[in-house]
Structure 1
């Protein structure tokens, strides 16, 4: 890399830290929980929408997306349909449910809904677990890129990413996170466009890209198989991905903190809806980068992974940056693009984890002053950052499995259970907190078992599509790739993996269905455990504001549901003081056996 490339990367890192410093010195100087966690609920729509978008489009997607297209084909693109459905459901169902409550932690909803503290603590614990797992992979992805391109060992890259994210997140709170996301989105956009243009030119032009990908079956997009063992299908990419992404945009603290920081419910809805356009735009960019890289290496007769030039398919883009981008500033811009994705996701998770820990665990027990709670949140940002970096280092030992699949598998273990809890609470008025808790336990056990079993399957990961290996020099890789290619029928619509049976068949369920299995298991087990209360005609009903708005006319008494306010401009601190611990119900005595 040219020295100017290092300058570009350093400037991007310093600018991110500078945003944290600036926001810590302006406004209220991040001395209150309202400003530090929620931006005083006066943030602007477009920055918030961009922040939500790039928070979930991390370096995992920037590295894994092109590699997915290159080695597995266009089935990945259908995932955009599932994410679109998730955005629509969250914007019209979950945002109108959560926004009017004017809470800071989304898990406060569970306590208010069930009149029980334990389920709030349990939901927060699941979220923290999910975030830590995602945080580790989100740091590992760019660390791999730094290792491949700049020779920085992965542990060093993890320290750099974690350290910079901790600094500006701890200093500037949610405002720094949102405005850093906006700044970093510029690098993400420029980096992807630069990689696309250069790879297309190097491969011989758009015509070559189209002809090569068409000839090798990379444009095959729709697999209508109903078999959940098939890795990517239309149903998995729509229904499965929808249920996997609803916990990202709706009942999710990171997303909630952003749309709840807006001044009106209408803007909160639009912050999610605008993500639909961004999702399709980024999917298109990532796909075209993958197509261009495939055409380039197919014309050359060998790709880096087939030739043992890289140890993981996720190092495809970093390898191209290192050996083919010989124009000064371009490598630096694309590396800044990858790092920007990492900083965005890492800072988002650190901020939200620290916020729910203070609001849900610390404040109910120790009753800190508002200023002390803000300081405690900053220290927790540091603690979670260190923990995430440690787990990222441990994750670096998982080889030859697509990064998207690693993160999707881990996250779905707990996010499916979390979605099941919120669906049960918001859709079934007579459901109980015991049902939600029991359902989530069964969900975690089942999906965790399947997820763990998937990594024990023979073959070292999913099989690759056929690759051009005529000019590869590594004989060991050639034999393995021939074996992979032989496992596919070369006809377009009929190509499929050898499908396993028995217990291995259960383990081979596509990672796209983990969220569906987890959420539905939690929901139906919760219904079963809540059955005595469901059959009791005298069982009390919750306030209509805790039920999904479209269901209120059917599930709530007419005299109550139409009086639910659309917006409650209540100061959270005053509300908590009035309500004390918010819920000192008779359920507390029963809960102690679980605490």
Structure 2
């Protein structure tokens, strides 16, 4: 695949496939909006706790596997090799952790958002703080998800990113607002089928064009892309076995264990046993989907090993490589490119709909519950907030175009908030002596520290003090005529000055670093601010992991009475 001078265009048949996907998604929202009364938070946010295990698990996969994964992971593999595939092991470990530690905890508490746990364990200030941090993280995440899908669409159609974004997002906002959790879950199931079909078709056709997977493997081995066991423990290495296994374990645990969008789903099934099974299906499905995306990255390199499209000026950004590849191998097949674009947008819309649904839950249940008029039902307030947040996210798409490589940029931004939030929950679940003052100070220090590191690192990259060394690429086999010339900026950039050591730490470790700061600072502050009323406060064992029950005081008769603080909280909430 050396002669890449011609780029096909998207036909009407391809566009119709994309349009059918949007129409079906809208119809699902209309159906559940009309057929199901969703006036309460439990109905709108958790589907009345009557959702099925398989649809919920598929919905979790769809929400997690956004366009950032479908496009970002192949790009990651193309530029940095297959070391990222070790994340599949991390997902299995995450599934075990969620199923054994977090699901039993949530199942005992009648809550609408995961952050209500923090009020039970600490106080309302901690809950509000974490809710605000989560709000910030999703407001950063959703626009990136939308932008990635629009970028793919623009690559294969030539239509401006900012023209396609509002139309597709309006559909997503519509069905999410109308149908609530039920619509989100069932559109996710539909969109997952489209997304996985697109990934598999790209793999099959691409491998056939290259002469089979044996040939693909040979080319990647020759190009140094096959890297699975780089056991270097250096935390300043961008990607090793340990950064993929440990760093990403904590990064994604923050999403899967405490993220409201996933906790809502775990709580939408009838009981704890079903929730645990749902988590395991989710973890396995996520691992398989990730490995499929890595395989597409191998196809990318095998196809462009001798003629890198970015150096050859056929693509302006590495994240445009997969859409370009699809056009090159399948642009002549009616409907194929349309299926791919629909798949990428399906991944984006499922993540967006999930984010909007969970954001509305956090805003209405956690942050605005005391100021919203009781004359309007909670269900209607949730719909109003969903629509407003959706339009804000669409507007934010206009400021995310300069993030560099999407997967790394998103993980870096996510590290600021995910470490702080996960640290708060782990402090509450595993540290019985931690108090609310320690939780607030620890989380504030973590948030500020990670913000300094992430933005300092980005500044170092922009000034040339810090450069990620990608694996070698070539234009030696380009056979078409073009006006491109190679410069230092096209190849390996040289660091203009030495970046601070803290800015060189792998971005995979940002979440782990945030967790450690919360745990260390939170426990130290709790020790030095421990007061008698904290010592005398009754201990509710349901708020702690069973692993630390042996370190808790024995139950007294007073603690065994029905009116525990959890029951009193639930009564007051009603």
TM-score by length of 2: 0.91
**Secondary structure in structure 2 of the residue aligned to 1:64:** helix
Is 1:514 the equivalent of 2:510?
A: yes
Answer whether contact 1:200 1:293 (CA < 8 A) is retained.
no
Which residue of 259, 264, 275 corresponds with 1:257? 264
SS in 2 for 1:431: coil
Residue 505 of structure 1 deviates from its aligned partner by: 2.4
Q: State the partner residue of 2:6.
A: none
Distance 1:10 1:120, change over 3 A: same
Could you give the per-residue CA deviations for residues 332-384 of structure 1, whole angstroms, max 9, x where no partner exists? 11111000000000000000001111011222344625x52211111111111
User: Pick from 477, 502, 507: which aligns with 1:471?
Assistant: 477
Q: Is the alpha carbon distance of 1:17 and 1:124 closer, same or farther for their aligned partners in structure 2, counting shifts above 3 Å?
A: same
- Residue in structure 2 matching 1:69, options 77, 89, 100: 77
**Pairing partner for 2:571 from 565, 570, 578:** 578
Corresponding residue for residue 162 of structure 2? 155
Q: Distance in 2 between matches of 1:5 and 1:552?
A: 58
Report the alpha carbon displacement of residue 577 of structure 1 after superposing the two structures with TM. Answer: 7.6
How far apart, in 2, do the equivalents of 1:17 and 1:352 lie? 19
2:339 counterpart of 1:339: no
Q: Render the CA deviation track for 1:511-554: whole Å, top value 9, x for unaligned.
A: 10000111111111111110135596944243111111332233
Which of 454-463 and 213-222 deviates more? 454-463
Q: Which structure 2 residues correspond to residues 344-355 of structure 1 after superposition, within 5 A?
A: 344-355=350-361
* Structure 2 residue corresponding to 1:15, chosen from 24, 28, 31: 24
Distance in structure 1 (CA, Å) of the matches to 2:218 and 2:488: 26
**Cα deviation per residue 1:91-145 (whole Å; 9 max; x = unaligned)?**
110111112202101111111112x221111111111111111111111110111
Count of aligned pairs? 555
Matched, 1:555 2:552: yes
Q: Judging changes above 3 Å, is the alpha-carbon distance between structure 1 residues 288 and 524 closer, same or farther for their aligned structure 2 residues?
A: same
Indicate whether 1:96 and 2:104 are aligned.
Answer: yes
- What does 1:518-537 align with in structure 2 at a 5 Å threshold? 518-532=514-528
Q: CA deviation at 1:81?
A: 2.1
**Among candidates 335, 342, 364, match of residue 370 of structure 2:** 364
Query: Is contact 1:553–1:561 with CA below 8 Å preserved after alignment?
Result: no
Matched, 1:47 2:55: yes
Out of 449, 452, 461, the residue aligned to residue 449 of structure 1 is 452
SS at match of 1:483: coil
* 1:24 has 2:33 as partner: yes
Task: Give, in angstroms, the shift of residue 160 of structure 1.
Answer: 2.7
Unaligned runs of 5+ residues in structure 2 are 1-9
Partner of 1:585: none
* Closer, same or farther: CA 145–556 of 1 in aligned 2, 3 Å: farther
User: How big is the shift at 1:150?
Assistant: 1.3
- Residue from 525, 529, 544 that aligns with 2:541: 544
Secondary structure of the 1:457 match is helix
> Is the 1:455–1:461 contact (alpha carbons within 8 Å) kept by the matching residues of 2?
no
Task: Say whether residues 1:130 and 2:137 are aligned partners.
Answer: yes
The answer to whether residue 425 in structure 2 is matched with residue 422 in structure 1 is: yes
Normalised TM-score (structure 1): 0.88
SS of the equivalent of 1:102 reads coil
Matched with 1:218 is 225
How many Å separate the matches in 1 of 2:496 and 2:158? 39
Equivalent residue number for residue 388 of structure 1: 393
1:275-424 mapped onto 2 (5 Å cutoff): 275-298=282-305, 301-325=306-330, 326-366=332-372, 368=374, 372-398=377-403, 401-424=404-427
Say whether the 8 Å CA contact 1:70–1:290 is kept in structure 2.
yes
Maintained 8 Å contact 1:544/1:561 = no
Aligned equivalents of 2:496, 2:82: Cα separation in 1: 20
CA distance in 2, matches of 1:514, 1:577: 35
CA distance in 1, matches of 2:471, 2:399: 29
Greater shift, 168-177 or 323-332, is seen at: 323-332
Quick one: which of 195, 198, 207 aligns to 2:214? 207
CA RMSD, 1 decimal: 2.5
